[in-house]
With several copies, the nearest count.
Chain A
């Protein structure tokens, strides 16, 4: 809608000359009741004693003026116009034969009440907005001091949690020991480490019997085979490296070993207790 302004001539005669002419911007009204209230104020009388008939006339004249200017009017305004026209006709021509019910006077009183009520709420709305307001007239603490939260952890665990945790880890650990405790294999590395230690214990030139050195490792009969195999393999490796010498006279006869002499090129023959 255009911002057209309609001078509202119907009212001009009643107004003091120094007052500005009532300008009616249809868009500025908050509905027909608001428009009626604005018009009513022009009567400059208490709303309780207002002439509803005169008010209806003013309203209808306004609507007529707006129509002439081809202003679009919301349906609300037209409904009110129709209702006021009806009210006006009933006020002017009372129907004495009408059945009991709402009289034209009741209707007029109801309208006056609504206008009065709207005005009353407008007044208190104004008063409310004029109160000293927070952030406009009064202020709260600008720099509030925050409340620090200190968290106290409270741990929870049930006896069941505790017992099942105990039992399950003890079982787990016990069963894993059962599975892995007996070592059934003597590794090459273990064999070599042992032989090196044995060699360190014997005198330089002495030949020694391998099975005698290892006797303490044969206590567990299950270990005999793996100990023999690994230690023999380890000795061969050490001979190849030139760390020691080894001899065996016949198959399955005892194996002798001794440290290799550092400088001497020739190897001495085994000691007397061995048989050539």
Chain B
């Protein structure tokens, strides 16, 4: 728990003063930082503005609990934190809704395969869907910022592998990737190990940027391909 002693407040002119306030100042700082930002903030960024030795994890947990019943909630998104409006109030906020490009069925399915099956190559996506992916589908998904090329599979042709991004996690409000709805059932039914040799353990989707054993890092220039990612070698 956060220390409950009176907190040192750094006032604008840099001097210190004692403040008697039931609310610990570290929590106020945390609150202010997270509130001011549109983007989720990681714990490192938050720590940089807080006194050394401050128990950030405990404070975040306390703040999250404190805001749980409010119109604005503190949510964890991957390894970042952000305030978001409570999801049950969406009916009030129609004015704030942003026009989003409606994704085609092909794009939605492709996104789901990338999310649940990552890292995954284009050929693997095509195998699952039983149809070739049009170039535009991957482009549209890259444009959303939800997917990214993350490496190359160590197989002949060295195809690009795709995975999801932090924006994906933030957009769909996932605390972590394993919170993907229906993931357990999908895994339990053996749907994620179709192509792998039987001695492989069942893969779990992971957006951990660390490459898998069967992935090579991207090469210079690969990210330029990002927006037109159909390396001929993959065919």
Taking Cβ atoms with an 8 Å cutoff, the residues of A that contact B are 30-34, 36, 76, 113-114, 116-118, 120-125, 127-159, 161-178
Contact = CB atoms under 8 A, between A and B. Distances in A.
A124 B38 contact: no
B36 A157 contact: no
Contact of B90 (A36, A138, A169): A138
Contact of A138 (B128, B173, B196): B173
A259 to B, nearest CB: 36
B197 interface: yes
B109 A166 contact: yes
21 contacts: A30-B106, A34-B131, A122-B112, A123-B182, A128-B112, A131-B173, A132-B87, A138-B84, A138-B86, A139-B96, A140-B36, A142-B38, A144-B36, A147-B95, A151-B98, A155-B100, A156-B100, A157-B108, A162-B108, A163-B186, A166-B113
Closest 10 A-B residue pairs measured CB to CB? A33-B130, A31-B131, A125-B112, A166-B112, A167-B191, A132-B87, A139-B36, A127-B181, A144-B38, A145-B36
Interface of B: 10, 12, 14, 32, 35-40, 82-87, 90, 93-103, 105-106, 108-109, 111-113, 115-116, 128-132, 140, 143-144, 146, 170-174, 180-183, 185-186, 189, 191-197, 200, 202
B95 A150 contact: yes
A239 B180 CA distance: 61
A157 B38 contact: no
Given A131-B14, A167-B192, A124 B181 contact: yes
B219 to A, nearest CB: 28
B182 to A, nearest CB: 4
Contacts of B87: 132, 137-138
Contacts of B132: 31, 76
Given A125-B111, A155-B101, A170-B192, A33 B131 contact: yes
Contact of A150 (B90, B96, B173): B96
A157 B140 CA distance: 13
B39 A143 contact: yes
B130 A134 contact: no
